[in-house]
């Protein structure tokens, strides 16, 4: 039995832990050969093919390492509707290696391509990963926990400098469409104001919270802003959201403001213990599916348990949003955090 493994889309902590789990759970089965496909689907698309055989030695000491030993690709070459030419090249590469199955670790873009490959009669098993935690059907994705840890630590660090200089510190985090990173990281770190794409913000509400703190003698505030947040009444999201926010709040509050953009720091570094455990759970489960030849399924977390569903159960890979009845959203407002409304 020949099984391919690839990682696609943006990198995140936990990918190597998932690869390790896949490899180590297959080792005891002597009839299984594992092929690491390099740089996402490019390894199957390129000529010559780009791959490496995986074994126990391949995954030594990678459990705690960020990134992916297989490389990845996230430059827009693959769209939700990938061209038939590209798909055919990938299928040819798959057949050339005589693969029985391809295990795909990736986010919505990568998994949508996997779904198209299934329509081309390839056998696929999916593992969800994205720091945004915005994939449909699953409660948590690989990379999210590590990102939340970083955001929370960053908020704590900004609080001390905000207190020292009596400033408003604005922290921009990823989350173009969904606010899981901003909400969870901001709440865990003790932010005073959190702005996410699901709730259009109002400057008056933000200033009201800042004024409340000043009346209590707290002449500083930390604001966490998802990159996709936007002002109520605006038709489009400004390109320089946090810079505009900083400038406007400085004028409205007469306080110094500073902006920190976490950017790709959120993708790098060692995975959190929670991500290592999650990646191991999903990896072992996915390999068991492959061994049983239960193909065209994607592994998920549902009600805190590892499950699998058919790819066909997901009609479209639309990003999951923070629901307005989210328990942590309600908890944030209950303890006095402003969501800008």
Averaged over 205-223, what is the pLDDT?
98
Residue 217 neighbours by CB under 8 Å, 6+ apart: none
With pLDDT > 70 as the criterion, what percentage of the chain qualifies?
Answer: 97
Q: Is residue 319 in some structural domain?
A: no
Q: How many of the other CB atoms lie within 10 Å of CB of 53?
A: 10
Averaged over 231-236, what is the pLDDT?
84
Q: Is residue 341 in some structural domain?
A: no
- 290 with 189, same domain: the answer is no
- 259 with 278, same domain: the answer is no
Q: What are phi and psi of 107, to 5 degrees?
A: -95, -160
Q: How many of the other CB atoms lie within 10 Å of CB of 48?
A: 7
The first and second tokens of residue 65, run together, are 């390492």
Q: Is residue 285 in some structural domain?
A: yes
Rounded to whole angstroms, the Cα distance separating 89 from 47 reads 9
pLDDT tens digits, one per residue of 110-130: 999 999 999 999 999 999 999
Cis peptide leading into residue 48 (ω within 30°):
yes
Q: Is residue 62 in some structural domain?
A: yes
Q: Is there a contact between 54 and 34 (Cβ–Cβ < 8 Å)?
A: yes
Q: How many of the other CB atoms lie within 10 Å of CB of 178?
A: 23
Beta bridge partners of 124: 102
The first and second tokens of residue 57, run together, are 């030695």
Tell me how many helices (H) and strands (E) the chain has: 10, 11
| pLDDT recorded at residue 81 | 58
- 203 with 297, same domain: the answer is no
Residue 308 neighbours by CB under 8 Å, 6+ apart: 285, 289, 294, 297, 298, 299, 300
Confidence of residue 324 (pLDDT cuts 50, 70, 90): very high
Rounded to whole angstroms, the Cα distance separating 230 from 200 reads 5
- 160 with 118, same domain: the answer is no
- 102 with 118, same domain: the answer is yes
Q: Is there a contact between 223 and 171 (Cβ–Cβ < 8 Å)?
A: yes
Least confident of 143-152, 162-171, 227-236: 227-236
Domain region containing 13: 2-143+271-302
Q: Is there a contact between 131 and 143 (Cβ–Cβ < 8 Å)?
A: yes
- 78 with 13, same domain: the answer is yes
Q: What are phi and psi of 140, to 5 degrees?
A: -150, 145
Q: Is residue 316 in some structural domain?
A: no
Going by C-alpha positions, the residue among 21, 15, 2 that lies closest to residue 71 is 15
Q: Mean pLDDT in the chain? A: 96
| pLDDT recorded at residue 82 | 67
pLDDT tens digits, one per residue of 281-299: 999 999 999 999 999 999 9
Taking CA atoms, 250 is separated from 77, 191, 239, in Å, by 41, 18, 19
pLDDT tens digits, one per residue of 254-284: 999 999 999 999 999 999 999 999 999 999 9
pLDDT tens digits, one per residue of 83-104: 889 999 999 999 999 999 999 9
Query: What CATH number did the domain enclosing 71 receive?
Result: 3.40.50.450
* Catalytic site residue from 11, 132, 149, 308: 132
Is 88 one of the annotated active-site residues of the chain? no
- 167 with 253, same domain: the answer is yes
- 276 with 224, same domain: the answer is no
Beta bridge partners of 2: 33
* Number of domains present in the structure of the chain: 2
Query: What CATH number did the domain enclosing 185 receive?
Result: 3.40.50.460
Averaged over 179-203, what is the pLDDT?
98
- 155 with 206, same domain: the answer is yes
Averaged over 49-58, what is the pLDDT?
98
H helix runs in the chain, sequence order:
15-26, 42-45, 84-96, 108-119, 144-165, 180-189, 203-215, 241-253, 273-291, 327-334
198: DSSP letter? T
Q: Is there a contact between 36 and 58 (Cβ–Cβ < 8 Å)?
A: yes
Q: Is residue 92 in some structural domain?
A: yes
Tell me, yes or no, if the pTM score tops 0.85.
yes
Going by C-alpha positions, the residue among 285, 308, 312 that lies closest to residue 298 is 308
- 104 with 161, same domain: the answer is no
Name the helix (H) or strand (E) containing 103: strand 101-106
Going by C-alpha positions, the residue among 74, 63, 73 that lies closest to residue 271 is 63
- 204 with 259, same domain: the answer is yes
Confidence of residue 77 (pLDDT cuts 50, 70, 90): very low
| pLDDT recorded at residue 64 | 96
- 252 with 220, same domain: the answer is yes
| pLDDT recorded at residue 207 | 98
Residue whose pair of structure tokens reads 């902006």 in the numeric block: 259
């Amino acid at each position: 039995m020949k099984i391919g493994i690839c990682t696609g889309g943006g990198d995140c902590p936990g990918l190597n832990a998932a690869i390790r789990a896949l490899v180590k759970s297959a080792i005891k089965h002597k009839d299984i050969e594992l092929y690491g496909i390099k740089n996402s689907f490019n390894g199957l698309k390129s000529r010559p093919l780009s791959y490496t055989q995986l074994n126990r030695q391949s995954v030594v000491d990678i459990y705690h390492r960020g990134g992916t030993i297989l490389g990845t690709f996230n430059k827009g070459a693959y769209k939700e509707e990938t061209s038939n030419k590209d798909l055919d090249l990938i299928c040819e590469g798959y057949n050339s290696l005589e693969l029985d199955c391809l295990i795909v670790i990736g986010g919505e873009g990568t998994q949508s391509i996997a779904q198209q490959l299934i329509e081309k009669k390839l056998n696929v098993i999916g593992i969800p990963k994205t720091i945004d935690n915005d994939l449909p059907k699953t409660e948590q994705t690989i990379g999210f926990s590590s990102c939340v840890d970083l955001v929370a630590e960053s908020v704590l660090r900004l609080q001390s400098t905000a207190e020292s200089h009596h400033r408003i510190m604005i922290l921009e985090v990823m989350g173009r469409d969904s606010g899981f990173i901003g909400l969870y990281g901001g709440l865990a770190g003790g932010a005073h104001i959190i702005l996410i794409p699901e709730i259009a913000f109002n400057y008056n509400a933000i200033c009201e919270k800042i004024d409340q703190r000043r009346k209590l003698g707290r002449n500083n505030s930390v604001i966490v802003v998802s990159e996709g947040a936007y002002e109520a009444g605006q038709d489009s999201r400004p390109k320089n959201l946090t810079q505009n926010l900083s400038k406007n709040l400085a004028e409205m509050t007469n306080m110094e403001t500073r902006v920190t953009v976490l950017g790709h720091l959120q993708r790098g570094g060692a995975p959190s213990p929670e991500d290592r455990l999650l990646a191991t759970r999903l990896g072992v489960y996915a390999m068991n599916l492959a061994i049983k030849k239960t193909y065209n399924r994607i592994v998920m977390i549902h009600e805190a348990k590892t499950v699998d569903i058919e790819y066909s159960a997901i009609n479209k890979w639309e990003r999951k949003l923070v629901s307005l009845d989210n328990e942590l959203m309600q908890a944030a407002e209950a303890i006095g955090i402003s969501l800008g409304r």
